[in-house]
Amino acid sequence: MLASLGELRTAWRRETLGADARAGVVLGVESVPDGLASGLLAGVNPVSGLYAYLFGMVGGALFTGSTYMAVQSTGAMAVVVADVDLGSRADPERSLYTLALVTGVVMIVAGVARLGRLLRFVSTSVMTGFITAVGVNIVLGQLGNFTGYQAPGGGRLGQALGLLLALGRVDPASTAVGVVTVVLILVLRRTRLRSLGLVVAVAVGSGLGMLFGALGAPVARLDGIVAIPRSLPLPVLPAFAEIPGLLVPGLSLAFVGLVQGAGVSAGVPNPDGSRPDPSRDFVGQGAGNIASAVFRGMPVGGSMSASSLLAEAGARTRLAPLFAGIVMGAVILLLGGVIGYVAMPALAGLLIVVGAGSIRPAQALSVARTGAVQLTVMATTFVLTLVVPLQYAVLVGIGLSIILHVVRQSSRIRMRQLQLRGGRRVRETAPPEEVPGGQVIVLQPYGSIFFAAAPALEAQLPSVRDGSTGSAVILRLRGVDDAGATFIDVLTRFAAALARSGSRLMVVTDNPRIRRQLEVTGALGALGEDNFYAGDEWVGRALRRAYRDATGWVREHEAGGQR
């Protein structure tokens, strides 16, 4: 936090101030229709989306580690908000602000706890299925505003089907406004206007809607559904009694926002080329949510599109998002009346372009080609996101990511046999299926030996038969950080089976933690102190010492048998 504020104090330099101001104007102007559209997508007062963009962006700029991170509402977060059904609560608007507050607190706690590293457990297959389904949800959810006909039906899929069955009720004027807006966005984004083309397209579409209205074919406008303010909002207290019921959607929103924010951290480096600290970005996004909640906004998170726009527009410091907030505030104060003329089909067209843009068939195809497990996880996440409330689909996606990680790690365990030759040579081969009699066998597992991998490891150990007498099996555990109770049980059973056949198990490890775990579980006593060898920084020295002792023990055992 202090580093960000210190950076702000040093950012007022003539050589960067102009570039930051220009980039801020571009993002600030573009964020006005985008913020309104985000509120519309969330099913709340569109002005709440406008306030969220303004205050979330300013609050986030003060604390993030990413210089260019723009903290705004994202399409995925807006869809989660829409599925929370805030309209059924006693005070929907205060519940919305409270939801933003809960989301912000969760994000700040995650940042303070340095949980940024946990995002690596979210698999690409889960996020691809989730983001693709969110894109489909955005498109389906705006068909009613786009066509001027709100079809009956349960959920977005049901409403889309209802629309297809009643195409005769589609309003031609509204559809024309939406189509013109979409075409203009697609055309203008390829010109020098780029993101400002969104503003131009929405303005032209809204102007067309006014023309249709003058000709007797009215098109729904923003001021027809909400009163557009001409002043900035006063602070408001959240509905604290609503917090327990908003914890699950708050956790889901925090997860979605933080994952998308991590994409900004990884994809948009700081001006000096350094990678931002994801955990510090968590705190910044949480601060943006707190600011949004206090000033009547909806939940926000790191926006890849807005952050990329800042970088492409030439921003140099974190003053750029602050300038963008100032521009948004000026637009609200000076042009609040004009905002009310924005046509609803034009905003719907903007959202449809955004939703369609998040559907990436090439990435989905790449995941599908990776393997059956990844395809199944992606498809499951996609279907769940379409058919169940999104806040629960997010939590299921987290669970799928964790399960997939465990499955992958447990399947990567591999046992190899090390054959020590003369000098320093070591040959690595597949282990024998059975422990042969009167030999020294050196085994080394590769991969994590945590609890889920222990059964796979046990299955790869050579079986102990009646002929497995007078042998010494050396298990080398180099680079293993933690054995765990399940693995120690496997070790104890294997040692006992060898002992019953007149053989012995010897363990070589360089980690003192393994010895302590063997001691506290009693496994070391069963194994025997003389069968434990502690390694050090000299790779292979403890193993060769164990190998010499094992070879001598096998020879003594053979000699005793011959007598």
Give pLDDT tens digits for 69-121. 999 998 889 988 998 989 889 899 999 999 999 999 999 999 998 877 666 66
Which among 122, 116, 61 has a CA at the least distance from the CA of 275? 116
- Whether the predicted pLDDT of 563 surpasses 50: no
Q: What is the pLDDT of residues 464-515, one digit of tens each?
A: 998 899 999 999 988 777 777 888 898 999 999 999 999 999 999 988 888 8
Q: Could you tell me the fold of the domain covering 414-562? A: Transcription Regulator spoIIAA (3.30.750)
Q: Report how far residue 85's alpha carbon sits from residue 98's, in angstroms, rounded to the nearest whole number.
A: 14
- What secondary structure, in 3-state letters, does 22-41 show? HHHHHHHHHHHHHHHHHHHH
Q: Report how far residue 291's alpha carbon sits from residue 297's, in angstroms, rounded to the nearest whole number.
A: 8
What residues contact 13, with CB distance under 8 A and at least 6 apart?
Answer: none
Annotated domain spans of the chain: 20-225+245-406, 414-562
- Tell me the β-bridge partners of 418: 428, 442
Q: What is the pLDDT of residues 414-448, one digit of tens each?
A: 889 999 876 567 888 999 999 999 999 999 998 77
Categorize the per-residue pLDDT at 312 as very low, low, confident or very high, splitting at 50, 70 and 90.
Answer: confident
Average pLDDT value over all residues in the chain: 87
pTM across the whole model: 0.72
| Number of other residues whose CB lies within 10 A of the CB of residue 440 | 22
Which among 476, 531, 534, 467 has a CA at the least distance from the CA of 505? 531
- Tell me the β-bridge partners of 446: 414
Q: Which two tokens stand for residue 177?
A: 């406004």
